[in-house]
Structure 1
């Protein structure tokens, strides 16, 4: 989806001389001393000082913006003062004297603290109102009247478009319906003005609003293009019909990159419908910082020619550069945005020229605060004599005021993008504007600092030597002797890419044609006939047979053990690099079969495709990471002194029994298995009965990758018979287990018993689940917290060992949080995991379903059932269930349920929240949503969990980034995917040699 080609560095310069003339004129106008926007610096306000200080100090800039982001959630001056002091006291902050004085208080309730809070709050509010056209429609209308008097028009954007519930999506639509009606009523009092509402006698809509498609459906997802399109278009048609009735124009904004292709697809289809095809008062936005935006514009031009009626393309640079860059790095994707501002500027100019040269098919809206960018558009329009109706200039409210006035003065139509709404949802918008204004590369900042005009308006030049490749930035270097020890993450599938989404659909269809086959155990390199078979069914459609799996007998388990013992003699002496390269080959095969594996995971254990995909990535990462780690460990250590050599190295333990779970049937089975194999141990894999076919697919991959006969064996069988036999066997050295606390504790106890003839103590690695809590304090971003809790609690129907089963909420925000949590959960779709509309599938089997229902019955007796939903028939479905009023000693607050059941608990204060979070037998994962530095630091010390996640969901640990595992009764052993994990499969040894001979010892460097 990302266009990798270079920008055309030999850009068209035919308009350059005219561009320079216009740019000189515009920039001088913006710097005019009598300009009404130039304020006397002696009268600088607090908000101006804050901006000036943050531009001068990067550390202060980060902390100040973090503090500003938190302000709307803080409910008292004491809280504001306390947070201001905490943020400004960070080590990286160099404070100006005025701010040092403001944080010099010991009590946040004191008069100095209250004064500081009032002062800084007023400054932030003033800052916000610079960029927001008003908090209500009355204020917005006043802003519009002021703009019209200045010769400008407008488009209105409603803040708070990040919907997480269907109720919010419905409300978003209604707010826009109300808005265009109110604006239309007001427009009746406006006299049409040439250059604003008239262009060469052609009337232009006096009312224009800008909307975002994702706000019309809470589950908008590129993986579900049909379902998303249906929901969005149903609501858009209502809006478009109302706009047509009132004569209002609608412009569609562009958002994050992952939504771009689906947004364009939806709009192209919708606006070709007979009802809307002739509308010319509609518009689409393109972002020039995207590498494939030029190709997108070419596609829209071709579409517009076919449509036969022009609409507007708003061309902008793009407002999510940092977010897009970070997201691509975190997901190991190619960056969709240009890395250099100059590249974006150059692409913007190319797109401006292409757009304006096709003005008969598309109207242009040139949205930029860069004088050169606007000057180029003016030069092209004037050279080509483009009619005034076909192009306009746009600026953001509060940012491009001087430039806007200069453009109006030249006779151009200027539209001001004017957001309005409450301060709370507007804070994210404010932060984006502040980031733009204070960035070193900001044209506005450079112009305000009066950088030489010739430099500011020079053509953009791209330096191809700058920057580090994404691949290099993702590589983790290991202290090992060969280049092969570098580990590169496997990227998850980007389902915004249409080609990848089609491959996923095709793989799912293909796997469905392969259902019902029989899978045999693998013993000593041969697939053997089993005495009996177990049906594996799709838990979402219990009548659908996925396949039959042969179950080994105890006698066959003994054969497998003997084969492993025989193979160990050669496998332990196989060079670590050879073993590591087999893992790398397995990883490559997994990548090649990714979509197929995703489908098997989806159908056998009921996991939706994106979550299955993340599991396959994790399995690949385990292979590559453990390969690199083994080569690092194989290098050993030398602790030599004069006359004596000391060699520290590792050897494999022997035979490993891996007992893998069904909830991560591919990733965890792979991780435990390949860790045992790469360290030189022969390994027997006994998977959970409900996910044995997925383990059979892993077996196919390991065999193809080159694992010798007897070194790895696939031994599905009954846990109480085969599992017990293998755990108790005298030749078992390591038992790697993931599953229930009950079985884990039993294995631990059995492994401690020394069988006759056993000459070693068995090593047990056991991960046994959790009762994971997320704390939401009074400063949390509730949008983020609600979405994160819903994802953590109900993703894979709450069947992840890291799933959130308790959310502990500060009393002051409890009711607001609970209300939104319920609505967000109600917005989830429950159904079969292979349906792209679905977010929540079934639980694993009837036994699990019945056990969860028993817990729900207990919950009803002890607390308040706040939400339950309808579920489909035909599978093992449990409704996402929320209980409120839950006390710490209630059953559902103490026992692991392993299903979509969430307990909401109220905390008096943060210490009380931590006490409740720590008040169980488990210590696996936990989460915190907070913007209070002190709470974040305290939770890092005192929250008793192996993995603590702050201001994000608590599921989805990534190998070598978030090594996973807990303590207390959550398990025993080192963290999976971490630097200590392989040590559990190895015995360390030291060999010491006296190298003196008759008083002579070789000394390094002697000749």
Structure 2
């Protein structure tokens, strides 16, 4: 066909479908009619729709009538402009207790289950079988999708595998039912009747594209019995496609397992591909090449995609390229191009078109005609409970239609339900447009390549002048390859010696600090010269000598040096990350984030210095008033080992850009990374003496650095005891030799808590708890060490938390699949173990992980979870700085807040809840420096979440915030009388 002929045939098919559609709808006042009216009402206002869907999503966790009434009031209250007055009045009268409350709870759950049954085929296999029987009576086929909670434990992954096996065994009865030729035969003869869709991420709790080989190995172990049973019983298995970051790993698993001898000749497997992704056409070409090599066809389910909002948000948050087409018509165009490709290659890639869009369906019919594809060789797939009138039309046109049929427990399946409701009621939805009555058929059938949509979907806030450095996307093979290569290169430099750098000159000492790889303590990462008090004084003298010149360098030029440092670190990004993996024991993502934060500090503080340097003048006739900042003098930067690049770089960059000179004293455990930062500074070309590198033992050189009268600023991050000692020592002011009061900036840790509300999404809460408590082995000052859980969900939360902790992979940090690496050194390990032993005397050790051979290899500690913890115990009050989580029970939110605020620290905190009122209350009453709602409590980003606390968590302002640089400067005002003999020059 020519393009014009193809378009005419497409439009002809589309008009035929619309002409065949039954437009009468359900009879008035029937249950279906009422459902449609309610659906249309909720669609009419975006705020009402969102609030009602939020209520539906939260309902499974609401255990009593009072909670149901409370959430209804809160959610509908947030959409009060869209709700009629009589409903607003009624909401305020909702009963929370007694018979009325119980009736309300029953009605809410009953109505939600009724709504769920519209989109979910059943809660067990017999109900699904009955639904399938009814579908087959309408000549509709099926594929069953298993609903459930997110898989966050290996026990849950085993349970999912059992459910798939039970499902296949239960559905095999269908093979004995009478044949329906339209759906039970294809162009080659009888085809499998049973069709099951599998989500691969549900088969492994640690499914992670950063480790595709490890993920593939575990997923395939659980997948093989499912595929064997499917082959034995005569079933088709489809691999579902999830979020973009999982795509390549999902494709890899699909190709890997179906290339195994056992399954290589099996044609009854398929995979979904998403036309809204820009990669999809390339992926189809690769699949075709693989199938030709394999020698047996596979099914391809072509869909538009269900995660558009998620993908655009994730890309915006990480400043990654957006993987999806930004305009709907672009996705539609891609869908038609992919349809053509599948029709051309239907003998290898068997087509299944998942769409309710009549234009897309008509294009497939036209292309099938063009390429002489037998009608039985392809099929259309639609969602259960949606667009039934279009299903019937295609059946009447003798086309095979398969229904994507979800099953599972109704209320826990609400996440799926909400997504279907949002999809069904979105402004871009074809079903909404076709049933709304205000869109013409010709517009609905318009060729997407002829559509001119100027506004883009998903517009985000304007890009600020400062942008965070994007984290590396380890779902991309190229990124993983670069990281692996950097690790290999860095290992070749193990054991080298590094000098001090004073006044830009190397100083090699006779005594060294041996830096050890905490993942393998037999490996010496490097040997750094160990400074003595003598070298500390020399470094201070060098910095003092450089100060007068550096102070007078313009702010713009100083900012330029920071931007050069940022560029150097970008160029050396994977190398610097590799050093942190091997010297600090940071897993890949943690190390990469450390480098990105260091770059952010340089770029942000450079921009902030330019802002602070802008003149602030308040002039009047005859008088000029000039307000400005000048540096304090010599700054000592004492940094920790847990963020060995980012924090050292951040404090140094802040001091340097404000005109101070610096002595960098890194932690003894990570001096090599600090040496690499000194190399970056030298590559950026900073003048001699502005920054000096002074590794040494804190007890030996610390007093000299802190007490020396020529030091003006001390920036410290570390333990509470050392921070308070520095503050005390620095407060001494011998006026005969020191004519200034030293400024101390100190971040000193926390005992951070997150509260889990009774209505919390436990999928999110447990995952965030594990990430917060055990990420980087709990060695972050922001780490979550206390989980305060409300009574109604305490037992469920604890059980899932323990299983999630069991599922973590403890491994060397350079292993890409490591969930949890080592602690920093043997001293830290022994300290943490002693606190664990003490904790056993005051609480229940509910879980202690096993280490196996790792115990002898490095400084490893497995995750530990304590329950029945008293808020005032050691476990509830003292910072442990390791993978130890204390779980505390609270009877209500009042008690939870009292416990959360009841420590000497105030650094980070978190709250998991779906109650708008409770969230607002916690924002007011949970007194910490950084509070996170419904997300993990670690991972602050420069400018987005300036970091720092109060009480005994810190002295000073937040790092990465708009007032951080003010701590390194002194404000001055110069006033000049410009009047002479009664004459003042003009101010213009």
TM-score range, shorter chain: over 0.9
Shift of 1:108: 2.6
Q: Which moved more, 1:704-713 or 1:456-465?
A: 456-465
Spell out, residue by residue over 1:645-665, the C-alpha distance to the aligned partner (whole angstroms, 9 max, x if none): 322211111111000000111
Shift of 1:830: 1.0
Could you tell me whether the CA contact under 8 Å between 1:103 and 1:113 is conserved in 2?
A: no
Could you tell me whether the CA contact under 8 Å between 2:327 and 2:457 is conserved in 1?
A: no
Shift of 1:636: 3.2
Return closer, same or farther for 1:173/1:905 CA change in 2, 3 Å cut-off. same
Task: Tell me which residue corresponds to 2:92.
Answer: 104
| Residue pairs, 1:311-350, within 5 angstroms | 311-350=298-337
Count of aligned pairs between the two proteins: 983
> 3-state SS of the aligned residue for 2:404?
strand
State whether structure 2 residue 805 is matched by structure 1 residue 825. yes
Shift of 1:497: 0.7
For residues 101 and 145 of structure 1, the distance between their equivalents in structure 2, rounded to whole angstroms, comes to 45
Return closer, same or farther for 1:726/1:267 CA change in 2, 3 Å cut-off. same
> 3-state SS of the aligned residue for 2:841?
helix
Shift of 1:433: 1.0
Return closer, same or farther for 1:780/1:12 CA change in 2, 3 Å cut-off. farther
Return closer, same or farther for 1:356/1:331 CA change in 2, 3 Å cut-off. same
Return closer, same or farther for 1:619/1:473 CA change in 2, 3 Å cut-off. farther
Task: Decide which of 964, 969, 991 is 2:974's aligned counterpart.
Answer: 991
Could you tell me whether the CA contact under 8 Å between 1:789 and 1:807 is conserved in 2?
A: yes
Task: Tell me which residue corresponds to 2:627.
Answer: 648
Q: Which moved more, 1:786-795 or 1:378-387?
A: 378-387
Task: Tell me which residue corresponds to 1:215.
Answer: 202
Task: Tell me which residue corresponds to 1:4.
Answer: none
Shift of 1:234: 1.3
Shift of 1:181: 0.4
- Please, what is the CA RMSD of the aligned residues? 2.0
Task: Tell me which residue corresponds to 2:67.
Answer: 79
State whether structure 2 residue 57 is matched by structure 1 residue 69. yes
> 3-state SS of the aligned residue for 1:258?
helix
Task: Decide which of 124, 130, 155 is 1:142's aligned counterpart.
Answer: 130
Task: Tell me which residue corresponds to 1:172.
Answer: 160
Could you tell me whether the CA contact under 8 Å between 2:26 and 2:33 is conserved in 1?
A: no
For residues 846 and 972 of structure 1, the distance between their equivalents in structure 2, rounded to whole angstroms, comes to 30
State whether structure 2 residue 564 is matched by structure 1 residue 613. no
Return closer, same or farther for 1:29/1:189 CA change in 2, 3 Å cut-off. same
> 3-state SS of the aligned residue for 1:689?
coil
For residues 924 and 349 of structure 2, the distance between their equivalents in structure 1, rounded to whole angstroms, comes to 58
| Residue pairs, 1:578-589, within 5 angstroms | 578-589=557-568
Task: Tell me which residue corresponds to 2:581.
Answer: 602
For residues 623 and 471 of structure 1, the distance between their equivalents in structure 2, rounded to whole angstroms, comes to 29
For residues 557 and 778 of structure 1, the distance between their equivalents in structure 2, rounded to whole angstroms, comes to 55
For residues 672 and 95 of structure 1, the distance between their equivalents in structure 2, rounded to whole angstroms, comes to 52
Task: Tell me which residue corresponds to 2:267.
Answer: 280
For residues 414 and 381 of structure 1, the distance between their equivalents in structure 2, rounded to whole angstroms, comes to 15
For residues 609 and 995 of structure 1, the distance between their equivalents in structure 2, rounded to whole angstroms, comes to 61
Q: Which moved more, 1:316-325 or 1:233-242?
A: 233-242
Spell out, residue by residue over 1:468-514, the C-alpha distance to the aligned partner (whole angstroms, 9 max, x if none): 899996732xxxxxxxxx32221111011101110111111111111
Task: Tell me which residue corresponds to 1:126.
Answer: 114
For residues 933 and 43 of structure 1, the distance between their equivalents in structure 2, rounded to whole angstroms, comes to 32
Task: Decide which of 950, 953, 957 is 1:967's aligned counterpart.
Answer: 950
Q: Mind listing any 5+ residue stretches in structure 2 that lack a counterpart?
A: none
> 3-state SS of the aligned residue for 2:512?
strand
For residues 800 and 48 of structure 1, the distance between their equivalents in structure 2, rounded to whole angstroms, comes to 52
For residues 782 and 210 of structure 1, the distance between their equivalents in structure 2, rounded to whole angstroms, comes to 25
Spell out, residue by residue over 1:526-565, the C-alpha distance to the aligned partner (whole angstroms, 9 max, x if none): 1112231110001111111001010112111111111111
Q: Which moved more, 1:37-46 or 1:368-377?
A: 37-46
For residues 13 and 706 of structure 1, the distance between their equivalents in structure 2, rounded to whole angstroms, comes to 64
| Residue pairs, 1:782-797, within 5 angstroms | 782-797=762-777
| Residue pairs, 1:495-644, within 5 angstroms | 495-644=474-623
For residues 456 and 131 of structure 2, the distance between their equivalents in structure 1, rounded to whole angstroms, comes to 45
Return closer, same or farther for 1:692/1:12 CA change in 2, 3 Å cut-off. farther
Q: Mind listing any 5+ residue stretches in structure 1 that lack a counterpart?
A: 1-9, 477-485
For residues 542 and 817 of structure 1, the distance between their equivalents in structure 2, rounded to whole angstroms, comes to 36
> 3-state SS of the aligned residue for 1:15?
helix
Task: Tell me which residue corresponds to 2:745.
Answer: 765
Could you tell me whether the CA contact under 8 Å between 1:584 and 1:627 is conserved in 2?
A: yes
For residues 81 and 682 of structure 2, the distance between their equivalents in structure 1, rounded to whole angstroms, comes to 56
For residues 664 and 334 of structure 1, the distance between their equivalents in structure 2, rounded to whole angstroms, comes to 27
Return closer, same or farther for 1:71/1:462 CA change in 2, 3 Å cut-off. farther
Return closer, same or farther for 1:957/1:301 CA change in 2, 3 Å cut-off. same
Task: Tell me which residue corresponds to 2:665.
Answer: 686
State whether structure 2 residue 800 is matched by structure 1 residue 813. no
Could you tell me whether the CA contact under 8 Å between 1:334 and 1:470 is conserved in 2?
A: no
Return closer, same or farther for 1:49/1:76 CA change in 2, 3 Å cut-off. farther
For residues 614 and 475 of structure 1, the distance between their equivalents in structure 2, rounded to whole angstroms, comes to 21
Shift of 1:110: 6.5
> 3-state SS of the aligned residue for 2:636?
strand
> 3-state SS of the aligned residue for 2:412?
helix
Could you tell me whether the CA contact under 8 Å between 1:161 and 1:172 is conserved in 2?
A: no
> 3-state SS of the aligned residue for 2:497?
strand
Could you tell me whether the CA contact under 8 Å between 2:273 and 2:303 is conserved in 1?
A: yes
State whether structure 2 residue 940 is matched by structure 1 residue 957. yes
State whether structure 2 residue 232 is matched by structure 1 residue 251. no
Return closer, same or farther for 1:293/1:614 CA change in 2, 3 Å cut-off. same
Could you tell me whether the CA contact under 8 Å between 1:808 and 1:906 is conserved in 2?
A: yes
Shift of 1:917: 0.8
| TM-score, structure 2 normalization | 0.97
Shift of 1:115: 5.5
For residues 585 and 117 of structure 2, the distance between their equivalents in structure 1, rounded to whole angstroms, comes to 49
| Residue pairs, 1:715-734, within 5 angstroms | 715-734=694-713
For residues 376 and 770 of structure 1, the distance between their equivalents in structure 2, rounded to whole angstroms, comes to 60
Shift of 1:188: 3.7
Could you tell me whether the CA contact under 8 Å between 1:166 and 1:823 is conserved in 2?
A: yes
Spell out, residue by residue over 1:760-809, the C-alpha distance to the aligned partner (whole angstroms, 9 max, x if none): 11111100000011110110000111100011101111111011111011
> 3-state SS of the aligned residue for 1:196?
helix
Task: Decide which of 828, 833, 842 is 1:848's aligned counterpart.
Answer: 828
For residues 456 and 105 of structure 1, the distance between their equivalents in structure 2, rounded to whole angstroms, comes to 44
State whether structure 2 residue 15 is matched by structure 1 residue 24. yes
Shift of 1:990: 1.5
Spell out, residue by residue over 1:339-370, the C-alpha distance to the aligned partner (whole angstroms, 9 max, x if none): 11111111111111111111121110000010
> 3-state SS of the aligned residue for 1:515?
coil
> 3-state SS of the aligned residue for 1:825?
helix
For residues 367 and 383 of structure 1, the distance between their equivalents in structure 2, rounded to whole angstroms, comes to 20
Task: Decide which of 961, 975, 980 is 1:978's aligned counterpart.
Answer: 961
Return closer, same or farther for 1:461/1:1002 CA change in 2, 3 Å cut-off. farther
Task: Tell me which residue corresponds to 1:6.
Answer: none
For residues 397 and 137 of structure 1, the distance between their equivalents in structure 2, rounded to whole angstroms, comes to 16
Could you tell me whether the CA contact under 8 Å between 1:53 and 1:96 is conserved in 2?
A: no
Task: Tell me which residue corresponds to 1:489.
Answer: 468
For residues 576 and 464 of structure 1, the distance between their equivalents in structure 2, rounded to whole angstroms, comes to 48
> 3-state SS of the aligned residue for 2:865?
strand
> 3-state SS of the aligned residue for 2:82?
coil
> 3-state SS of the aligned residue for 2:909?
strand
| Residue pairs, 1:433-444, within 5 angstroms | 433-444=420-431
Return closer, same or farther for 1:883/1:45 CA change in 2, 3 Å cut-off. farther
Could you tell me whether the CA contact under 8 Å between 2:503 and 2:692 is conserved in 1?
A: yes
Shift of 1:464: 8.1
Spell out, residue by residue over 1:201-230, the C-alpha distance to the aligned partner (whole angstroms, 9 max, x if none): 611111110001111111111111111111
Return closer, same or farther for 1:119/1:1002 CA change in 2, 3 Å cut-off. farther
Spell out, residue by residue over 1:429-482, the C-alpha distance to the aligned partner (whole angstroms, 9 max, x if none): 111111111111111001001211111110114778846899996732xxxxxx
Task: Tell me which residue corresponds to 1:906.
Answer: 889
Could you tell me whether the CA contact under 8 Å between 2:95 and 2:104 is conserved in 1?
A: no
For residues 540 and 127 of structure 1, the distance between their equivalents in structure 2, rounded to whole angstroms, comes to 53
> 3-state SS of the aligned residue for 2:323?
coil
Spell out, residue by residue over 1:228-247, the C-alpha distance to the aligned partner (whole angstroms, 9 max, x if none): 11111111111111111111
